[in-house]
Amino acid sequence: MFGLDKKDTSLLIIVAILTMLAPFILNPFPADSAMAQFNAGYPDLMQRFVIFGIFAIGFNILFGLTGYLSFGHAAFLGVGSYAAVWMFKLLSMNVIPAIILAVITSGLFALLIGFISLRRSGIYFSILTLAFAQMSFALAYSVLTPITGGETGLQLALDDPRILGASQTPEGNIPVPGLFGMEMRETTQIAVGAWEFTFNVGYYFCAVIMLLSFYLAIRIFRSPFGMMLRAIKSNQQRLNYTGLNARPYTLAAFVISGMYAGLAGGLMASMDPLAGAERMFWTASGEVVLMTILGGVGTLIGPVLGAGMIKYMENIISKINSDILHGWFAFMPDGLEDFVVAIVYPFIGKGWHLTLGIIFMLVVIFLPGGLVEGGQRIAKAFKRRKSDDASGKTSTEPAE
């Protein structure tokens, strides 16, 4: 099905079902319950899940298949955002042209940086990409202010010379991005008992794009091109001895990965038409590295899981404050309650990075394959237990 084998088709279908049903899955608690703060089924966060999932999928094509660790991939994310916003300002508020320009621009930018950076490998390649990303950040932040908006970022304005479409609405407001008449911010809320589920046009548009990106990643992983990238990661020197030039393959992987990042940047601008230099900072590049390693380097679903985990902690765990903790532990005696809150508080709220660091450390030490390896170990444990139970039953049966 779709040119995939049975295992990959099943994985794609599972991802599609989880993505389409995300408004239900991410809202497990009633809206009026104390646990509702752990619900993540609101449009902005769901959009971030799939957009950064695309970003991580593309990064995994480079890092997971070739072993080349880039510390500058946020540059392509930022370039894609700037290109999309400029398309909104100059041509139309339709998101399709903006996303196309974002992918093309980031691909050309990745071709330039990759052509230079891939002359080196290992740590030297990583430092080169980091240097290019920081130079891009500096250019966007100060030197290219007329193009990028500098410190305030690139935004839409009422006097934008938009060719297709009005510069402002009849009410005098700035138009919002849309898709053939459907605005990206359009939402529909459905109440089912004590639960509230939100369905957003922008989220489902991003979700469809992510599914297509995921499908393309599967085809790349299973293609002869993907096999060549794995050979490069395994032993590039031995591959060179066979007479094959690995550089065109690594450059192609770098450009494809950069285009994925540009696609994510274009989608970010489509959901919120604003582009800032902070998207190109080195911390954004480090974030996608964490996402990929946490989920599982070289796996298909791992980067998406890692992106979802980090964005969940960033937007949900970081909002838990001391008042919420006191509410949770109010059943304890006052002294014990204060003690428990004092112990837990440094790991949540503004200290959520500490919790993320501990999780990352544990994953690297005990689960080198990331969350995917953890899931595989749990599945194997259940299978082993089931087989042991079956063998135990057969052994106790009396002989006829």
Domain assignment of residue 322, yes or no: no
Residue 166 in any domain: the answer is: yes
Residue 288 lies in a domain: no
Q: What Rg value do the Cα atoms of the chain yield, rounded? A: 24
In a domain, 293, yes or no: no
CA atoms within 13 A on the CB side of 80: 31
**What CATH number is associated with residue 238?**
1.10.3470
Number of domains in the chain: 1
- Give domain status of residue 316, yes or no: no
Tally of CB atoms within 10 A around 329: 15
CB 260 within 8 A of CB 106: no
Domain span at residue 38 reads 11-282
Q: Are 82 and 156 in contact (CB under 8 A)?
A: no
Residue 394 makes CB contacts below 8 A (sequence gap 6+) with: none
What is the pLDDT tens value at each position of the chain, 400 positions in all?
A: 677 888 999 999 999 999 999 999 999 988 888 788 888 988 999 999 999 999 999 999 999 999 999 999 999 999 999 999 999 999 989 999 999 999 999 999 999 999 999 999 889 999 999 999 999 999 999 889 999 998 889 999 888 888 887 788 888 788 899 998 889 999 999 988 888 899 999 999 999 999 999 999 999 999 999 999 999 998 888 888 888 888 999 999 999 999 999 999 999 999 999 999 998 998 899 999 999 999 999 999 999 999 999 999 999 988 888 888 888 888 888 888 889 889 988 888 888 989 999 999 999 899 888 999 998 899 888 888 877 777 766 544 444 3
Q: Would 208 be classed as within a structural domain? A: yes
Q: If we measure between CA atoms, which residue out of 350, 297, 278, 321 comes closest to residue 37?
A: 321
Instruction: Confirm whether 332 is domain-assigned.
Output: no
Domain for residue 59, yes or no? yes
Q: pTM of whole model > 0.85?
A: yes
